[in-house]
Chain A
Amino acid sequence: MRLSELVATLTPATFTIVALVMFVLVFVGVAVRTLRPAARAELDAAGSMPLDDDGPGDREQRS
């Protein structure tokens, strides 16, 4: 079966529904992974990364 034939059997509605399902799956996957308790401590630590660099200016905190 050629690709064009395959595509010809699809209607636009198929694409939109598949799109929505894909999004929901990705969202649930990311949400579950991110919100699981095991990740909490580690992610909270990662969240403070910007604050523990000590570049030239930050040590002096001039502003």
Chain B
Amino acid sequence: MSRTETFRYDDDIVRKFMVATLVWGAVGMLVGLWIALQLAAPSLNVAPYFTFGRLRPLHTNAVIFAFAGNAVFSAVYYSSQRLLKTRMWSDKLGRFHFWGWQAIIAAAAITLPLGLTQGKEYAELEWPIDLAIAVVWVVFAINFFATLRIRRERHMYVAIWFYIASIVTVALLHIFNNLSLPAGAFKSYSIYAGVQDAFMQWWYGHNAVAFVLTTPFLGLMYYFLPKAAGRPVFSYRLSILHFWTLVFLYIWAGPHHLHYTALPAWASTLGMVFSIMLWMPSWGGMINGLLTLRGAWNKVAEDPVLKFFVVGVTFYGMSTFEGPMMSIRSVNALSHYTDWTIAHVHGGALGWVGFMTFGMIYWLMPRLFQTELYSKKLATLHFWIATIGIVLYVVAMWAAGITQGLMWRAFDETGRLQYPDFLQTVNRLIPMYWVRALGGSLYITGTLMCAVNMWKTWRKRPAQYEEPEITAPALDDSHEEDLRHGAAPPAGALARVAQARFHRKWEGLPRLFTILTVVAVLVASLFEIIPTFVIDSNVPTIKSVKPYTPLELYGRDIYIREGCYNCHSQMVRPFVDEVVRYGDYSKPGEFVYDHPFQWGSRRIGPDLHREGGRRSDVWHVHHFRNPRSTSKGSIMPAYPHFYSDDIPWDVIQDRVDAMAMLGVPYDATALHDASGLAHAQAKQIADAIVQQGGPAGLQDKEVVALIAYLQRLGTDIKVDQPAEAAAPTPTAMTTEVK
């Protein structure tokens, strides 16, 4: 018999993370509502800082890393201590983790509206913040793994496995996707370009969904759902299968974000097949969660916590059916670039992530504040109002997505596009955007109710929190200690040996277990990534594709800064309707100098990959000043600062040099006098604008750089067709304006 030890749990850190979850959740969701309203009413864009393109990354980063992130940390710190029967290894590292993470969120909230961004979805934060994230994450990992070492339970419960997988995989994803070369204090270029950058980005992007928004929440489910239901998980063995299958499969699925793009077909097929296979473990997990309530369904009627959990797990099932379905290429052909994607992610985010979080918060509140919940009725009302909100949101976005997808591909009886004007397909969606905003408002109302409940419950807390002493036997090396009371002793010597090995050699050993998880994740990643990078035939070289000129490069930086990729794709898929609408489909070789790639994931506005030469310079001048002056019904923000802000000529050389270091073949002139080249091209464009009847004096203004970039887009392989590329005559253009 080993000695008994006493200790106390650290609940203060859980309280901190729980409050932060709710605060950032409210902020992130309000920003979400704001950008939803901007799409319905573009006048709500306030340039330069609060335009859709800059706020949408703020929304996604806030809800993913601040709301869901803090929720995950609350769950990890609360449940790990109890499942491992120990206090966290270090209180100090826990505090550092908490305050470090909040500082990172604050930095994101400041830098994203300032336009400091890497231009990669969900990885927008610039390199100094990325470094800070890595440091804080490593501190968290050290504290977590050290806690595993000092645990007093030999067997690590499955929730802990999910946490381990999340911690190691997020570290890998974050580091490899954010490898970039700084070109200033808050400016960097991805070391990958074009197809490879896209591949890394969606390896990261999809696995952020997997290892930030799914696996840690499954850990949460496997701990908090049994707690709330008062009975063990339906099948622990199913949860083991769930874990290993999910961890092994998820990592392959990323390429389904790139169907019909310039990604090689084999990679796309691989992503699709593994995505469909993912359906099975996901539903195994959902069934495991729901069946945990067998015989306890009456509790669901009374307990808001269980209501949130049941609907949350149901949304997990819905999203993990919808996701594999959307990964099928022919479905994806319709759904991709439309609001269907937005419907899908919000089903998962509001339903699964949000409801699991709120269920956990309502369960934790009375325990952490050591008093009764202020109002169970208010919590139940929160549940209903948020559920109605999700339904309105998701149904509106499904309708919008399918409507727009069908309109894009519709041909009339004469064989022409039925809706040749892209705006026709946008304006049809406006009523649905209002419904979405209504649904979102209801959801946020629920969140604010939760905040009131938390505030009022907190006010009732005792003067001093009780910190009871816990006693547990210390862990020693005897495998007899493994036998938890209640477990029948294994029959037969062979079984006993097998059981001891089973515990000691696998799930019982954090180091080995972690290594196995890393292997599962890494092997899969390498098998997909290596061929993409080393097989030359994946990206055939196109001789006529040349690097961007210094001015175009700076224009591209403006494009990234303003978050244009949030609404405009640069990827014409090989479909008849897209080729008719936009021009020749995009080739992998066209993106070899694109650090980072800008293919986008949603066409709120039209694709821009063949934008070069489609319109005159002066059209763009008027369009950026007021998009509705050239395009009636446009929902694009106006960009008045493009006309007042000067191009910072002195940074251009640094940008070109950074690109050259990444292997972009700039010639000697560009490497020595990038600013001079940029000046000359700017003057040329400014003169052309005047010639076309536009305003004079723009040669130093940002708008010129952006026009240079846009006019270059997709033109490198159009050199043989000068007739098509010619700009319309000036008179034709000026008549369109006002």
A30:B227 contact, CB within 8 angstroms:
no
B11:A56 contact, CB within 8 angstroms:
yes
Q: Flag whether B418 is at the interface (Cβ < 8 A).
A: no
- Number of B positions contacting A (CB below 8 A): 78
Q: Flag whether B244 is at the interface (Cβ < 8 A).
A: yes
Contact of A18 with B527 at beta-carbon distance under 8 Å, contacts A45-B487, A56-B367, A63-B363 already known: yes
Residue from A10, A30, A40, A45 within 8 A of B486 (CB atoms): A45
Contact of A57 with B523 at beta-carbon distance under 8 Å, contacts A38-B495, A50-B226 already known: no
With a cutoff of 8 Å between Cβ atoms, the chain B residues found around residue A31 in the complex are: 241
Q: Which residue, A43, A49, A51, A60, has most C-beta atoms of chain B within 10 A?
A: A49
Q: Which residue, B224, B245, B367, has most C-beta atoms of chain A within 10 A?
A: B367
A46 to B305, CA, bound (A): 24
- Write the nearest CB–CB distance from A22 to chain B, whole angstroms: 7
Instruction: Give the residues from 131 to 159 in chain B that come closer than 8 angstroms, CB to CB, to chain A.
Output: 153, 155, 157, 159
With a cutoff of 8 Å between Cβ atoms, the chain B residues found around residue A35 in the complex are: 237
A34:B241 contact, CB within 8 angstroms:
yes
User: B463-471, B549-557, B644-652, B659-667: which one contacts chain A?
Assistant: B463-471
A57 to B363, CA, bound (A): 10
Q: Which residue, A18, A39, A47, has most C-beta atoms of chain B within 10 A?
A: A47
A27 to B239, CA, bound (A): 13
A30:B230 contact, CB within 8 angstroms:
no
Residue from B239, B248, B535 within 8 A of A47 (CB atoms): B239
Contact of A7 with B79 at beta-carbon distance under 8 Å, contacts A26-B520, A38-B498, A43-B236 already known: no
With a cutoff of 8 Å between Cβ atoms, the chain B residues found around residue A10 in the complex are: 531
Instruction: Give the residues from 349 to 386 in chain B that come closer than 8 angstroms, CB to CB, to chain A.
Output: 362-363, 365-368, 370-373
Residue from B83, B248, B487, B528 within 8 A of A50 (CB atoms): B83
B467:A19 contact, CB within 8 angstroms:
no
Q: Flag whether B249 is at the interface (Cβ < 8 A).
A: yes
A63:B373 contact, CB within 8 angstroms:
yes
Contact of A62 with B366 at beta-carbon distance under 8 Å, contacts A30-B245, A46-B484 already known: yes
A54 to B230, CA, bound (A): 13
Q: Flag whether B252 is at the interface (Cβ < 8 A).
A: yes
- Number of A positions contacting B (CB below 8 A): 46
A57:B366 contact, CB within 8 angstroms:
yes
A26:B373 contact, CB within 8 angstroms:
no
Residue from B232, B235, B362, B523 within 8 A of A63 (CB atoms): B362
A58 to B236, CA, bound (A): 22
Contact of A13 with B535 at beta-carbon distance under 8 Å, contacts A39-B499, A53-B85, A56-B466 already known: no
B305:A63 contact, CB within 8 angstroms:
yes
With a cutoff of 8 Å between Cβ atoms, the chain A residues found around residue B185 in the complex are: none
- Write the nearest CB–CB distance from B674 to chain A, whole angstroms: 34
- Write the nearest CB–CB distance from A52 to chain B, whole angstroms: 8
With a cutoff of 8 Å between Cβ atoms, the chain A residues found around residue B269 in the complex are: 16
With a cutoff of 8 Å between Cβ atoms, the chain B residues found around residue A38 in the complex are: 490-491, 494-495, 498-499
A7:B535 contact, CB within 8 angstroms:
yes
Interface SS, B side? helix
A24-44 vs B, CB cutoff 8 Å, 1 = contact: the mask equals 001100110111101111111
Interface SS, A side? helix
A16 to B264, CA, bound (A): 13
A49:B367 contact, CB within 8 angstroms:
no
A51:B226 contact, CB within 8 angstroms:
yes
Q: Flag whether B163 is at the interface (Cβ < 8 A).
A: no
With a cutoff of 8 Å between Cβ atoms, the chain A residues found around residue B233 in the complex are: 47, 50
With a cutoff of 8 Å between Cβ atoms, the chain A residues found around residue B236 in the complex are: 43-44, 46-47
Q: Flag whether B240 is at the interface (Cβ < 8 A).
A: yes
Contact of A30 with B244 at beta-carbon distance under 8 Å, contacts A38-B498, A50-B159 already known: yes
A57 to B264, CA, bound (A): 54
- Write the nearest CB–CB distance from A17 to chain B, whole angstroms: 10
Q: Flag whether B223 is at the interface (Cβ < 8 A).
A: yes
Q: Flag whether B82 is at the interface (Cβ < 8 A).
A: yes
Q: Flag whether B41 is at the interface (Cβ < 8 A).
A: no
Q: Flag whether B267 is at the interface (Cβ < 8 A).
A: yes
With a cutoff of 8 Å between Cβ atoms, the chain A residues found around residue B11 in the complex are: 56
A47 to B266, CA, bound (A): 40
Among residues of B, the one whose C-beta sits closest to the C-beta of A40 is: B237
Among residues of A, the one whose C-beta sits closest to the C-beta of B252 is: A19
Contact of A12 with B267 at beta-carbon distance under 8 Å, contacts A4-B534, A49-B153 already known: yes
B470:A23 contact, CB within 8 angstroms:
no
B535:A12 contact, CB within 8 angstroms:
yes
Residue from A42, A45, A48, A57 within 8 A of B370 (CB atoms): A57
- Write the nearest CB–CB distance from A25 to chain B, whole angstroms: 10
Q: Flag whether B502 is at the interface (Cβ < 8 A).
A: yes
- Write the nearest CB–CB distance from A49 to chain B, whole angstroms: 4
- Write the nearest CB–CB distance from A46 to chain B, whole angstroms: 5
With a cutoff of 8 Å between Cβ atoms, the chain A residues found around residue B232 in the complex are: 44, 47-48, 50-51
The 8 closest A-B pairs by CB, nearest first: A57-B367, A47-B236, A45-B487, A12-B266, A38-B495, A53-B82, A48-B232, A62-B366
User: With contacts A15-B531, A38-B495 known, what are 10 further pairs, Cβ within 8 A?
Assistant: A7-B531, A30-B241, A38-B490, A41-B490, A48-B232, A50-B232, A50-B233, A56-B370, A63-B303, A63-B363
Query: Which residues of chain A have a CB within 8 Å of any CB of chain B?
Result: 4, 7-8, 10, 12-13, 15-16, 18-20, 22-23, 26-27, 30-31, 33-36, 38-60, 62-63
Would you list 15 pairs from A and B whose C-beta atoms are within 8 A, ordered by A residue? A7-B534, A12-B264, A19-B270, A38-B491, A38-B494, A38-B498, A42-B482, A42-B484, A44-B236, A46-B155, A47-B239, A49-B155, A51-B227, A52-B484, A62-B370
